[in-house]
């Protein structure tokens, strides 16, 4: 680290100092609820599946979520509950600050779904904060939902439930006032069907917010973008390949904001806009409504 110029070395005093800007990124993160030091571990995780992904480039297909779970995290890792008091609420706070009307309605009681919720920590945070509203989380893999269920049970949250469901089959037929997705559209097999289902499941005047990877759909526009190497690495070694594993579209995390907006309009949303927050270099916020 010293010869790589990450650490400043004073040979006289025999001291080693981390540059302040690096220390901040490592300790505080870049606005994704996880410090950079934690995110660096992702590189090691992804290295574990590299050979499998290379094989898919040769033979077709992809590496499924189940295989990732087994190879990268060990088969039981996803069922462990988490401590809701130690998760970083920033993403949820950002969503609420961008949608003050929705935040007000959550106080009085509305129906909310989180699609591709995984362990559902955002949903559990919202359910705890807004006891008058009703929440449901959907995910393709039942085992991914187990931590969320266990956390909700242990906190006595009776206004949240978790259901195994393929997002491509979500059809609430106007049942929800507010639907969220957190990094959960681009890596699906059929993000187009998921977006259509979400649009159909909203009541008139309902709001969808899709927190997704920021970036352009055109490679040339991303050459100088912060964290572009990190985002494309994740995109190829996880998001794209997991979608292809289920015969999907394989868009990858770097599907880009232009394509995301186009697909949202085609899915039936009547207004679509994308918002960036300066503290978050990973994600953007797609906000879409149905008339």
Ligand X SMILES: C[S@@+](CC[C@H](N)C(=O)[O-])C[C@H]1O[C@@H](n2cnc3c(N)ncnc32)[C@H](O)[C@@H]1O
Positions that interact with ligand X (CB under 6 A):
65, 116-119, 138-141, 144, 166-168, 182-184, 187-189
Shortest distance (Å) from residue 22 CB to ligand X = 26
Shortest distance (Å) from residue 183 CB to ligand X = 4
Structure tokens at 20: 């302040």
CB neighbourhood size of 240 (10 A)? 26
Rounded Cα gap, residues 131 and 106, in angstroms: 9
Q: Which is nearer to ligand X, 211 or 272 (CB)?
A: 211
Q: Which is nearer to ligand X, 116 or 250 (CB)?
A: 116
Q: Which is nearer to ligand X, 119 or 252 (CB)?
A: 119
The residue written with tokens 């394509």 in the block is 259
Shortest distance (Å) from residue 174 CB to ligand X = 20
The DSSP letter of residue 282 is S
Classified as helix, coil or strand, 62 is: coil
Shortest distance (Å) from residue 234 CB to ligand X = 9
Rounded Cα gap, residues 56 and 63, in angstroms: 8
Phi-psi region of 113 (alpha: psi -120 to 50; beta: other; left: phi over 0): beta
Q: Which is nearer to ligand X, 5 or 171 (CB)?
A: 171
Q: Which is nearer to ligand X, 140 or 157 (CB)?
A: 140
Shortest distance (Å) from residue 146 CB to ligand X = 12
C-alpha dist (Å) from residue 7 to 15, 20, 135, 230: 10, 10, 47, 21
């Amino acid at each position: 680290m010293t010869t790589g110029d990450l650490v400043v070395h004073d040979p006289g005093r025999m001291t080693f100092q981390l540059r302040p800007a690096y220390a901040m990124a490592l300790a505080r993160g870049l606005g994704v609820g996880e410090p950079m030091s934690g995110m660096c571990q992702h590189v090691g995780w992804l290295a574990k599946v590299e050979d499998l992904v290379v094989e898919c480039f040769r033979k077709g297909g992809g590496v499924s979520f189940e295989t990732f779970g087994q190879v990268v995290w060990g088969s039981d890792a996803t069922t462990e509950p988490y401590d809701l008091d130690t998760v970083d609420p920033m993403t949820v706070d950002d969503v609420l600050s961008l949608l003050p009307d929705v935040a007000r309605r959550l106080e009085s009681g509305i129906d909310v779904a989180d699609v591709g919720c995984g362990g559902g920590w955002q949903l559990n945070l919202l359910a705890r904060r807004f006891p008058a509203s009703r929440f449901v989380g959907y995910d393709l893999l039942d085992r991914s939902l187990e931590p969320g269920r266990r956390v909700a049970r242990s906190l006595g949250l009776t206004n949240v439930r978790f259901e195994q469901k393929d997002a491509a089959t979500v059809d609430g037929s106007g049942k929800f006032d507010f639907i969220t997705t957190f990094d959960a559209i681009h890596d699906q097999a059929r993000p187009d069907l998921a977006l259509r289902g979400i649009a159909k499941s909203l009541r008139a005047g309902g709001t969808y917010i899709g927190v997704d990877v920021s970036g352009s759909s055109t490679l040339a526009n991303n050459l100088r973008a912060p964290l572009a190497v990190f985002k494309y690495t994740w995109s190829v070694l996880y998001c794209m390949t997991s979608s292809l594993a289920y015969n999907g579209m394989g868009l990858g995390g770097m599907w880009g904001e232009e394509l995301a907006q186009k697909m949202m309009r085609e899915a039936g949303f009547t207004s679509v806009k994308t918002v960036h927050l300066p503290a978050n270099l990973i994600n953007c916020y797609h906000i879409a409504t149905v008339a």
